[in-house]
Chain A
Amino acid sequence: MSASDAPSERAASSRRSWGPLALALPALVLLVAVIGYPLATIVLRSFAEPQWGLQNYSWFFSTPVNLIVLQRTFTISAWVTVVCIVCAYPFAYAMTAVGPKVRLLLTLCVLIPFWVSGVVRTLSWVILLQDSGVINSLLRSVGLDGVRLIRTQTGVIIGMAQVLLPFMVLPLYSVMKGIDLRLVQAARSLGAGPVRAFFTVYLPLSLPGVYAGAIIVFILALGFYITPALLGGPRSTMLSTLVQNQVLSLLQWGRGGAMGVVLLVATFILLALAGPLMRQKHKQGAR
């Protein structure tokens, strides 16, 4: 550092304002080219093919099958989210309450499926749920015959919930880890029973984790494609399959695009609604 630093300091500060952007630029260029441009193409085509106008959207919202599938997509996603919350809550709580060795084991239980390829996990569900599969063989041995699991909505929900469960456990755990248990003790010492202490102290403090997990799971579930395609049947088709069908089989880019835009808009509305909710609750939880 010498006396000649003053001008180079200024150069450095002007470099500092553009330098960071330059560092992020390659990633941004790729983002625009491989995400932005394709999405713009799809939105454009949904209005422009085969002619300019809203025909694809009016077709989408006036065809009963589409509306049924749209509604079903939301119903299935909601069920998957509920199943995930119910299963993940006690599991994540246990992760905070046990010793380090058991915690490592529980963490492995969450992380291994998280990292095993989704196609392989769905394959296991195909093997388990098929008519000649494990669950049906077991049911048959106790005299229950002809229970259909594959190509039903139940099968799809079971498979999707298992694939998405880690996305619920991890945010829940990270919030629960930070909850000061002395608050629960304080509630108990002031006369609250265990149930009351849980519902008035612990549950509200853990809600940010529930919200965060639920939003992630619901959004991912909305766009699910592989599990419904392999486990589902015609009566459990979800929106993604319909989009794929329009584009790849029928070459109806406009209609497929319109469906995609509907899915996209639903996702972003949910995200926009969830953002402030999570941030606010998070702040409350942190104080």
Chain B
Amino acid sequence: MTMHPLTRVLLGLACILVGLWLVAPTLVVVPMSFNENKSLAFPPQGFSWQWYQNFATNPEWSTSFFNSLKVATVVAILATVLGTLAAFGLDRMRARPAGLLRMLLLTPMVVPGVVLAIGIYAVYLDARLVGTMTGFVLAHTILALPFVLIAVQASLEVFDKRLETAAASLGAGRIATFRTVTLPLIAPGILSGLLFAFVTSFDEIIVSLFITSPYMKTLPVQIFTSITRDADPTVAAVGTILLCATTILIGGGLLLLGRDRRSSL
């Protein structure tokens, strides 16, 4: 469709502004992380690596980082297994019960975080799960499960079931069919579910804020308390590291995906 040149310019301008608004504010953590003073006031003074050093050496930060890594890894595996199983189950059910169960399993996405958080906190107080690894893993898994379910269901929807029938008619057993035909074809869905689950857990803050204890903190909780307590530029250093990791992950993923699609066309 041809566009009026003025419309084109306006659209381009709007696009640049929105793009900047999305990306630029987050970048402000990069210069702040090299600040020489212990302050988050802008502009930063001087240049130093001390906040990165502090992140690596201060046990408060490094422990919470490793806690997050541990919880997120377990959650990613658990949520992916449970979510993939559930997606297969729903796929083989009649439409009505499948729709109902799907809606139920997606509720964690829409229930307001604080409501969920006080509920889980109340139950965890009774069950002595506050500040425990198990507590974090259970809560994060159910929050991450919807993302896995959506991703796997999407790839099951485009999956041609006749391929399974073909494999079976050629003599493959159910397990062989699953392993050699079904699994490779829906692997991208499972993989993106896994990634989503990991990030969901790694970033989760509201429920974590309630079920945390001085002995078991995750990285977002540590960042949050640090922001509310004092102006420690270590948060900026952590933010910069997370920003770089995300950009590499997403950029790499998109490039891979783009190349894949082109070669399959």
Contacts and interface: CB of A to CB of B under 8 A. Distances in A.
A154 B112 CA distance: 22
Nearest to B19: A109
Interface string A86-115: 011011011001001000101111111101
Interface stretch (B57-65, B183-191, B234-242): B234-242
Contact of B243 (A111, A120, A134): A120
B4 A41 contact: no
Interface string B211-246: 000000000100110011000000110110011001
Nearest to B42: A134
A90 B11 contact: yes
Nearest to B112: A223
A263 B228 CA distance: 25
Given A23-B89, A87-B18, A185-B1, A222 B23 contact: no
A226 B207 CA distance: 11
A95 B6 CA distance: 18
A126 B227 contact: yes
B122 A125 contact: no
A156 to B, nearest CB: 14
Contacts of B139: 34
Contacts, number: 256
Interface string B134-173: 0000110110010001000000000000000000000000
B7 A35 contact: no
Contact of A162 (B25, B89, B93, B228): B25
A130 to B, nearest CB: 7
Interface in A1-56: 16, 19-28, 30-31, 33-35, 37-39, 41-42, 45
A31 B104 contact: yes
Interface residues of B, number: 82
B127 to A, nearest CB: 10
B18 A260 contact: no
B197 interface: no
Given A109-B19, A223-B114, A260-B118, A117 B242 contact: yes
Nearest to A137: B42
Given A94-B11, A123-B239, A264-B111, A24 B119 contact: no
B86 A118 contact: no
Contacts of B210: 248
A119 interface: yes
Interface string A239-266: 0100110011000010011001101100
Given A94-B15, A108-B254, A123-B235, A115 B246 contact: yes
Given A27-B145, A106-B15, A194-B4, A120 B115 contact: no
A225 interface: yes
B29 interface: yes
Interface string A123-141: 1111110101110010000
Interface string B94-118: 0000000100110110111111111
Contacts of B149: 27
A154 B242 CA distance: 27
Contacts of A66: none
B26 interface: yes
Given A23-B86, A223-B113, A123 B236 contact: yes
A210 interface: no
A236 to B, nearest CB: 16
A28 to B, nearest CB: 7
A87 B16 CA distance: 11
B264 to A, nearest CB: 15
A219 B110 contact: yes
A62 to B, nearest CB: 22
A94 to B, nearest CB: 4
Nearest to B196: A115
B112 A121 contact: no
Given A31-B105, A112-B246, A127-B40, A90 B18 contact: yes
Contacts of A94: 11-12, 14-15
A177 B131 CA distance: 46
A56 to B, nearest CB: 13
A69 to B, nearest CB: 13
Interface centre among A23, A162, A253, A256 (most CB of B within 10 A): A23
Given A120-B235, A137-B42, 13 more contacts: A24-B89, A24-B90, A26-B85, A30-B138, A91-B15, A91-B18, A118-B203, A120-B243, A134-B43, A165-B21, A240-B114, A257-B118, A264-B111
15 contacts: A16-B92, A21-B93, A24-B85, A27-B105, A90-B15, A107-B254, A112-B250, A116-B243, A117-B203, A125-B25, A130-B40, A130-B41, A134-B28, A223-B115, A260-B119
Going nearest first, the 8 A-B pairs with the smallest beta carbon separation are A223-B112, A38-B119, A23-B89, A24-B89, A260-B115, A27-B86, A120-B239, A20-B92
